[in-house]
Structure 1
Amino acid sequence: MQIKKAIDKIPGGLMLVPLFLGALCNTLAPGTGKYLGSFTNGLITGTVPILAVWFFCMGASIELKATGTMLRKSGVLVVTKIATAWVVAMVVGSFLPLTGVQTGIFAGISTLALVAAMDMTNGGLYAALMNQYGSKEEAGAFVLMSLESGPLMTMIILGTAGIASFEPQLFVGAVLPFLVGFALGNLDPELRKMFGGAVQTLIPFFAFALGNTIKLQVIVQTGFAGIFLGVAVIIVTGIPLILADKFLGGGDGTAGVAASSTAGAAVATPVLIAEMIPDFAPVAPAATALVATSVIVTSILVPIITALWAKHIKKASTQTAPAAAPAE
């Protein structure tokens, strides 16, 4: 059976299929983990410890060496994405309560869901698109995008926007595994290779545990709102990213379009934030389902829009190129 190939055909499948299976388990047999106990319970309820190891390995996989072009390009995109999410938090947080929208077709939409979906770029998707439509330096610009992974940036955005307050030690605790992994990975290439190889392997495990925190009813209820969120992520973050890429990053906007997605890792953010701030606990399941849908929507639409944008840019440059002088 070619299970892995089948999963890979689904946008974000390595994250979303185990997430769905976890939600299925939690819907049909919510007490399975507690009933079986031991290691099975650990797999079903171990979202935080599994993610802690994943963040450590993610940090170890990042190599410090990078060209100035890569750092400038990735820095511009990362800062723009985070700044846009912060503006959204400031605006939406001024009128939307922590509990978010409770009824209607937008039920489940909250500041937490919006920020979690908008402040992280799917680095793998970006690199793949820029390998096809951009330059080698632009493809390598995902080097800093991994720094967005995890709840730290979401914590900073929510904190500075006045939506929530976090104790200083919580910030340290959120980033410490990543920093330790980053240090070890750059001190020893063998450690980077060993720990970095576990990044993809751990995704299905924390996705399954994460799925066990939500129920299928929530996924169905937030269906339209999730699609809306995905489209909103592309529009709201895509426009500033295109402008930043053109005027600050020295590009033609293609990299900006390619970066206007939601990272698979963002699906874990609502639950992790709720672990630290219990006030967010009521909206965490809906926010998780919304962000998961946004991952799917952006994974499908961003490649299409990027291809159309690159084709438009190429056509425009061809039309504006000076005609060759006639041969005498």
Structure 2
Amino acid sequence: MSKTENLLKLLKISYPVVQGAMLGVSTPKMTAGVSNAGGLGTLAAGGLSPEKTRQLIRETKQYTDKPFAVNLFAHDVPVKFDIPQISKMQDFLLSFCKAHQIPFEIRNAEELKFYGYEDQLDVLIEESIEIISFTFGMLRESVVKVLKENNCLLVGTATSVEEAVALENSGVDLITAQGTEAGGHRGSFLCRDQLPQIGLMSLIPAIADAVHLPVLAAGGISDNRGLKAAIAFGASGIQVGSIFIPTDESAAVESYKNAVLTAADVDTTLTRVFSGRWARGIKNAFMEAVENSGLEIPTYVIQNNLTSVIRTYAQQNDQKDFISMWAGQSSSRGKRGSTADIFASLVKDGW
């Protein structure tokens, strides 16, 4: 049995394709669309409250009876705050928002509310979620034990060989190898001094040779050629996200979808301005303004919380210059249509 056949059996899917989580873009209908088409849909739940997590899980179950994964953020919730740093950033954001007629109010740092993955565990177990993927780090040993006792498959994210080996040793069942081409947040968690920026075609064989687990390839894959190439390089399957941004089921606003479809190969960049964590997205006015401010950016998830009101307002008013338009380097190869149609075009020539 081939590595890919083993993956299909393990995940109970028909095609070696996993949908990237894409918090803020993916929806229960997108997740269900991928699962119903024979892949593994992923419900984005990173950083959400237990109540919201349960609501989204139950909504997804209304649209599919197939397996789907729930994605978590495996980072530590901050307990200490750099008040002067946060104050300077909020002053800048207030001035920026006034100039662009965006509502913004200064908040006390102590009032910011964050949720960690451990807050969601009871919900995942009660809702009988069988596949849990995560990024930004490793789950605590006690959490892995509880999830394994409840027959959960665990999928961790690695951006380097060192991270992949650490994840394997922690007890995960699959590893997503995230190349630097990938859209959205980097899953890096071990290399504090230098962000790993390894291209996917270098990363796949390096990780596949270093671990004994199935490897999912993520980053810059947009068509059947990419699927076949990833498997040829040693992956068991792929994880794709950006090609689903323009779909009918996507929560992305029209200007975001259009920006993705018309992006040139040089239009994405890595930035920390929206969330405090490195992520790849399409350049816009907000990104440029914060980067040119010279300010020190608060850590994730503090910066993410500070900018949330701006992103929400821009989303509601379809203003792409103030939205975090996460997208990979091949995102312009996406197309309009249903999630099912885009999925079908990806796998139609086999693997």
**Structure with the higher strand share, 1 or 2:** 2
TM-score by length of 2: 0.26
**Structure with the higher helix share, 1 or 2:** 1
TM-score by length of 1: 0.27
Greater Rg over alpha carbons, structure? 1
